[in-house]
Each structure stands twice: as structure tokens, then as C-alpha cells.
Chains A and B, each alone.
Chain A
Amino acid sequence: MRLPAPNALVGGTLIGFLAIVASVSALWTPYDPLRLSFRAKLAAPSAMHWLGTDEFGRDVLSRLMAGAATSVWISLLTVALAVSLGTVIGLFSGYVRGWVDRTIMAFNDALLAFPGILLALGLLAVVGANKYGIILALGIAYAPSVARIVRGTVLSLREREFISASRVMGNSEAFTMLRHILPNCIAPLTVLATSMFGWVLLAESSLSFLGLGVPPPAPTWGNMLAGSRPYIGQAVWLGIFPGLCISLTLLGINLLGDALRDKLDPRMRGAR
């Protein structure tokens, strides 16, 4: 058996570790991530508190673990929402074709003209800044890129022989779409969903950092970093560890995404 590529190995390890920490934190954290302790305010990392405590004496390690669970859940739900929404739109648009398709895609592409997290910020202003608001806003904001890929795949496939064959066999148009076209969208969607998990996690942390995400006291890596700013001179660890968590997660996703693209994108075959 061939060993997996080094980027897949490192990326997989980082993301696997994240998944374990996020699951464990649902059952156990060293301390209650929300419990205040004014005696242990801004304590440096020690045997008692491995990663120190924050300005309210809350254990940083416990908060990071709980934050991992929050971030992973929000990101997974958001990606699921964006992929389902985008797939439905893309399949429908590629299926009906004609002016309906052109109208949907014109609107879709215009939504892609909102750069970065701008569209999500605008949607948050409408739906309200909280956990569900973030999922809804980011899910809608990232759906257009999914719709575009699915529609492209549908259009490129629907003139192929095996699709005509399915029609000739008397299968309904809807059955053909779901049974034969949709499975062919899975490879490009996997690559996209992997990168998207990273974008969403970054967007969620950014929004939490801005104070537009999950509201305190619930810990997220983003709002922990935001909360660390006034104390960063005296309690460096508050600003270091949450950022390290975000960066390592994103590094894992980027490496995993590269490995997946090398494997699934035929254009890149032989490039390495």
C-alpha cells in the first residue's frame, strides 16, 4: 500500500485531533468553561490550569475545548446548509435551462460579487447576530458557489451518452438527475465542502471576533481572542492559544484540501 501524501497525513492528523477534542469536550472538560473564579483571575499557565485563566478566572483550556465544539458544529451545519441549498438551486437551474436558468444564474453570480464576508455581514444585520443567525447568514452567503459548480456539472453531463441511455430506458427526468447526475457532483462538491469548512470556520471566528457571532459568555475561539485584547499586555497566553487553535485548524483544512484536490481533480494529475 502506498503511504498517503504528507499533506494529507499532517492535515488529517490535525483535523482528527480537532474532532476528538470537540467530541470529548461535550462529555468532559477539566473545569466548567463558564465558572467564574475571582481568586484565580489572569493566572499564568500552571499545573492547575495548563493554559492559564482569563480575566474572570475561567480555565482557558476548558474554554478552548468548548469553543472547538461550538466552532465545529457551526461550521458543519453551515456547510451542510450551503451545500444542500446550492445543490437544489444548481440542479434545478441546470435541469430547467432556458431563461429561468439564466435568471437564477445571473442572480447567483451577482451574489458572488459580494466579496469575503460582506454578504454574511449584511445578512446578519437582517437575521440578528447569534448562533443561528450565523449559520443562516453564512449558509446563504456560501450557497451560490455550490450552485455554480453543481449547475456546471449538470450542464456538462446532460448531453453524455449514459444520461441519454437513462432517458431512453424510460427513466423520468427527475430520477435521471438524482440517480445519475447528482452522484457525479460529489467529487467536486467534496473538494469544495472541505475548503468551505475552513472558510466558514474563519468567517465564524472573524464574526465572533467582531462581536457579531456567538454572544459571550459562551466561548468561541473568536470571542476569546476579542476578549483578550485589553489584557494582552499582562496575560499573553489569552491572545496566543485561541489564535493557535484557529490557525492549526485552518492549516489542517488547507493541507487536506490540497491533498483532496491533487487526488480528485484530474487536471492536477501529474502536476506533482
Chain B
Amino acid sequence: MLRFALTRILMSVPTLLIVSVAVFGLIRLIPGDPASLMLGDLATPASIADLQARLGLDQSVPVQFGIWFGNLLKGDLGQSINSQQAVLPLILQRFWISAQIVLVAVALASLVAVPAGVLAAWKQDTSLDLSLVAVATLLLSIPTFWLGLLLLLFFGLKLEWLPVVGYVSIAENPLAGILYLVMPIMTLFLHEIGVILRMARASTLEVLRLDYITHARAKGLTESAVLWNHAFKNAFGPTWTLIGLVLGNLLGGIAVVETVFTIPGLGRLLVDSIFARDYPVIQGCMLFVAFTYVLVNLVIDLCYPIFDPRVTAQ
């Protein structure tokens, strides 16, 4: 187990390193002097020269990367051109807003979709199975920004049950804060039900065809014992991995939902920075989300043996 965990942790180090190289290289692809880019239009020659020296622009590219990576390890992602704020605290503040939406939505979606998917597989090819798959495929096909718009139209404008757009911190005003988050969470929740249900169904189907399930049935176990005690544990593995991927993908694509509901989250920060050509923030957001994605998948993999101890044996 310890060996498995250590190997898995070590395996993510090269990925993180290459992700850093890619993000470092990406901004360097933009024509022009990186120091002037990083400081924006209002920079003075003196401040550009100062930053050029700090970035080591008179030295070779590997040395420049070394300096940049050293700062990264210290948590120094530079300064926003627009707000002059340090990038990392800015990102963390926005990340918390996006993370609470994504985490709650995916947790709720898993609670509904995993049992529903197992049920669909168990009742394969019945009308229950077909309708569950149809609903899932439909939910999967509706883009989140349109689903959000429809919810907003219905619950916000027509029924007037929920506040339409905006964001209030839960810490400041718990009730209003939750009300503002209901629709964004519901949007992602509905969409991810489709994704997770189909996966849970497919992996359960694969397990149900195996010999040990036939054996369990032959022993005279009840169907629910076969399903939940024998099939479910093995079938949940792939779905668990998918949940990790979903978490990361949502974080990478949450900008559209945040745009629909005008929520000042991480996705909106990235998009606004692209509009404003605020390169230090763009770079910081990309690194932060990619690192988070790698870490989430690492944690997911480390938890995997809880359901399926076989992975530690290899």
C-alpha cells in the first residue's frame, strides 16, 4: 500500500514539472518582450528594466525558467497588471468561490447518479434502463450555459423563487449566500448526473458479466446482495476515477456558468484576464487549475484501493 502510494505520488512530479514548462513556454510564445508584457501598457522604462533583471531576461532560457520556477515554488506568481495585487492570493480568493459550487454539485450528482446507474445496469434493456439512459444522454447533451439560462428563466424570472444573478459570500450572509448558489449548483448537478450515470451503468454492466457474479447468484444470494456486496465494489472503481476527472474538467470550464450567473469565480477571473491581456494572472490561473487537477486525480487514485485493493498488488 505504501509502495503504491509513493509510486503514484512520484509519478505526478514529472507531470507537474512539464505542465510548468508548458505554461512558461506558452506566454513566451507571444511576440514581444516578456517584461513589457507582464507590466502592461502603463509600464515605465525603469520598471521594465527592473523586471527584466528580476526575470533574468539577459540570461539563457533554461536559467530564466529556473528563476521563474524558483519563484513558483515560493508561491510567487507575480503581480496582476490591472489590480497590482499579488496573483496567488487573488486566485485563492476566487478559487474558493468556484470550488464550493463544483464540490457540492459533483457530490450531489454522484449520490444520485451512481445508484441510478447501477440500477439501470441491473435492469438492463428494460424500460427503466432505457429511460434512465435516455434522460442521462439528454442531460449530458445540454450545455451548462444554456441549462443555467433556462433555470434562471424559470426559477428566477418566472417563479421568482431565487435571486437571479450575483454572489453574496456565505460567511457574510449565510442564507442569501446559499440562495445565490442554488442555481449554479443545480446547473452543474443536472449536467454531471448524465455523465456519471452513464459511466456507473457501463462499468456495472462489465462487472455483471463476470463469472464471480454468476457464482454468487448460484450460491443462492439475493439479487440485492449480489448487486451491492459483490458487483458494486468492483464496478465503482472506474466511476470514482471519472468523478476526479469531472471535478477537474468543471474547474477548467466553469467560466461559462459563472458568466451566466455573474459569479466572481476563478473561471471568470481567467476570462477577464484574457480580455485585459493580464498575462501574469492568465499564467497563474492556468498553472493553478492544472496543478489542482493533477492533485485531485492523485487523491482520487490514492483513495482507489479502498474500493478495489487489487491495484496495490501491481
Contact = CB atoms under 8 A, between A and B. Distances in A.
Contacts of A243: 142-143, 145-146, 149-150
B32 to A, nearest CB: 11
A239 interface: yes
B158 to A, nearest CB: 9
A110 B23 CA distance: 11
B275 A211 contact: yes
B141 A250 contact: yes
Nearest to A234: B157
A95 interface: no
B106 to A, nearest CB: 13
A121 B18 contact: no
A117 B293 CA distance: 13
Nearest to A117: B253
Contacts of B26: 122-123, 125-126
A70 interface: no
A230 to B, nearest CB: 11
Contact-residue size bin, chain B (C-beta under 8 Å from the other chain):
35 or more
A125 B279 contact: yes
A117 B256 CA distance: 11
Interface in A118-166: 118-119, 121-126, 129
B153 A236 contact: yes
B206 A271 contact: yes
A242 B274 CA distance: 25
Nearest to B297: A113
Nearest to B260: A229
A107 interface: yes
Interface stretch (B50-58, B66-74, B82-90, B244-252): B244-252
A147 to B, nearest CB: 15
Contact of A202 (B23, B143, B274): B143
Nearest to A6: B130
Given A121-B271, A125-B282, A116 B157 contact: no
Contacts of B259: 209-210, 226
Interface centre among A124, A232, A248 (most CB of B within 10 A): A232
A116 B206 contact: no
Nearest to A252: B141
A113 B294 contact: yes
Contacts of B294: 113
A210 B257 CA distance: 10
Nearest to B27: A126
A205 interface: yes
A232 B270 contact: no
A115 interface: yes
A118 B252 contact: yes
B95 to A, nearest CB: 14
Given A115-B249, A117-B253, A233-B157, A254 B140 contact: yes
Nearest to A246: B143
B153 A115 contact: no
A212 interface: yes
B157 A232 contact: yes
Nearest to A249: B141
B15 interface: yes
B18 A106 contact: yes
Contacts of A240: 150
Interface in B171-228: 205-206, 209
A194 to B, nearest CB: 14
A38 interface: no
A2 interface: no
A225 interface: yes
Contacts of A229: 149, 260
Contact of A122 (B149, B157, B286): B286
Interface of A: 106-107, 109-111, 113-119, 121-126, 129, 202, 205-206, 209-212, 225-226, 228-229, 232-233, 236, 239-240, 242-243, 246-248, 250-251, 254-255, 258, 270-272
16 contacts: A115-B251, A117-B252, A118-B252, A118-B253, A205-B143, A206-B145, A211-B275, A212-B274, A225-B145, A225-B146, A239-B149, A247-B142, A247-B143, A254-B137, A258-B137, A271-B205
Please name the 3 residue pairs, one residue from A and one from B, whose CB atoms are nearest each other, closest first: A116-B252, A243-B146, A110-B18
